[in-house]
Chains A and B, each alone.
Chain A
Amino acid sequence: MAGFRNALPLIIFLAIGFAAPLLAVIGYSFMPERSFGLLHPPTLENYAAIFNGNSYISFGWSLLLAVLTVAFLALICYPIAYGLARVFGPWAPVITLLFTIPLFVSENVRLYGWLLFFIKNGVLLGTLKSVFGLELESWLFTRPMILLGMVYVYVPFMLFPMTLGVSMVPNETREAALDLGATRWQVFREVELPLSMPGIVIGFLLTFVLAVGAIAEAKILGGQTVIPITHDIEIAFTYAQNWPLGAALAVLLMLVVGILVLFVLRRFDLDAVLGRR
């Protein structure tokens, strides 16, 4: 029972701070339009409004951008994760630290740095103009720019779980496969990839979930080219002053994310991913 006793404060806190707010959101999503209390008779009109409206476009963009972010990050991070687990040796902690530092700076500030980089007369275009006499149009406020921002922000969330996964592959197994005449490619496909899968899948999941909830990239770097679902939700809560509609959108987003997370996490032995050295 010692385990439960130690877990108790955390469980109580999450009940008040996580479960209860989610119930509040669900409650609000059934309240009549533009009401601010929870004591009205429940109604389905918010959901009806969403299914008859064009929120599906925002949902589609959010999901598409999240899938693309995960795909790019998988390719970008795998070599680095491999390096951290096998190649960098004594340098690995320092490199890990360098990848960690940006995590602690507000996302907005870092994205603003990209704005200063890409803006007309900014660091990139200003340099091109003064050194090479090249005058180019700025690429800001385009869709690829949003993707660049998202890939940039979520690097550590893909990298660290992936590194845990790659470290789980025992060196002996790789050596044995090579000794038995497997090519590098075969070792990668038949040994390394399957054995590091738990970490990789956690990285995919974490990045996907965070990317679906992303909002700052589209606002700061994307202009108004894409409105992600989180922006729709925020508008409902702020300008439109329609909390029940925002709550209903949030419930739908939570459903998509929650089902995915529960489905994937259910099959995981977390002790194996986190504990093994």
Chain B
Amino acid sequence: MEGMSRSGRHALIWAWTIAVLVFLYIPGLCIFLASLTASRYFQFPIQRWGLDWWRKTFDSIEVHQLFKTSISIALAVMVIAVVIAFFGALAFARYNWKGRSIYQKLVLLPIFFPQSVLGLALLLWFNAIGLELSWKTAVFAHLVWIIPVVTLVISIQVYSFDPALEEAAFDLGATRWQVLREVTLPVLLPGIVSGSLFAFLLSWGNFPLSLFTTGADTTIPEYLYAKMVAGYTPGVPVLGTVSTLGAALLLLGGYWLIAMRRRQKNSREGS
């Protein structure tokens, strides 16, 4: 470290970061490659390339049902999580109140908790109160972990929010509802958008909580796991690739939306 110049050090940091990123994306690349084979078993270098397995996977009624289940769960989780987490984040970061510091730590607890154990705990709990397992209980299970995450994501935005804006609106005679709709919500919108994306995607990719709580319904990660353990076909990497690309596109789209909005705002303020 000692004798190295500043630019040399920076180059090393860049190189290291890129190397780690490559490492992170190797498995995704392998899965994509495995989906392009025409034969039943994966062998590299691939002898016969083909998209047969893509077509077969998309024609399968079973796969349609999986998508329906996974999307229903993720959408329900997103809507409920964002509403509860929005108010939760205001309590987390905006207001000074007695008990806030304990509340902040309580919110973090489910995040700092092994998910597979949480899934089992919820299974026992649903069983004890006699709830029948279905995709709806899975929504509840996902929420236990995802609401705290979304609360944190929105809180980070709330920290940079100036409460004087709300007070000014109140002084000008706005009602509580008007202040929420015209001031608080628009200012916190980027946090809410990224919170929604997190909620949807974390639910979409979740396995340990779904495993114990979906009952007879099956999500995509559950199906993939079952197939990996027994009964591999190249349909597994096809579905894996689709769910990865879907997540990436959604994330890039959301990020683009936030960036566009910021640019719009800046140009409006500039003119």
Contact = CB atoms under 8 A, between A and B. Distances in A.
A274 B164 CA distance: 20
Interface string A44-85: 000000000000000000000000000000001001101100
Interface string A235-277: 0010000010011001001100100011001100011001101
B116 A3 contact: no
B115 A213 contact: yes
Contacts of B155: 274
A107 B28 CA distance: 11
Nearest to A93: B255
Nearest to B240: A109
A108 B252 contact: no
Contacts of B58: none
A88 B16 CA distance: 12
B230 interface: no
B117 A230 contact: yes
A97 B105 CA distance: 27
B82 interface: no
Interface string A85-120: 001100001010111111111111111111011010
Interface of A is mostly: helix
A105 B247 contact: yes
A234 to B, nearest CB: 7
Interface string B77-108: 00000001101101111111111110111111
Given A4-B99, A7-B103, A104 B117 contact: no
Contacts, number: 276
A181 interface: no
B137 to A, nearest CB: 11
A93 B111 CA distance: 24
Interface string A219-236: 010000000001001100
B247 A101 contact: yes
A210 interface: yes
A176 interface: no
B128 A38 contact: yes
B2 A25 contact: no
A113 B31 contact: yes
A114 B13 contact: no
Contact of A109 (B42, B93, B116, B243): B243
Given A126-B45, A261-B109, A275-B93, A105 B205 contact: yes
A87 B10 CA distance: 7
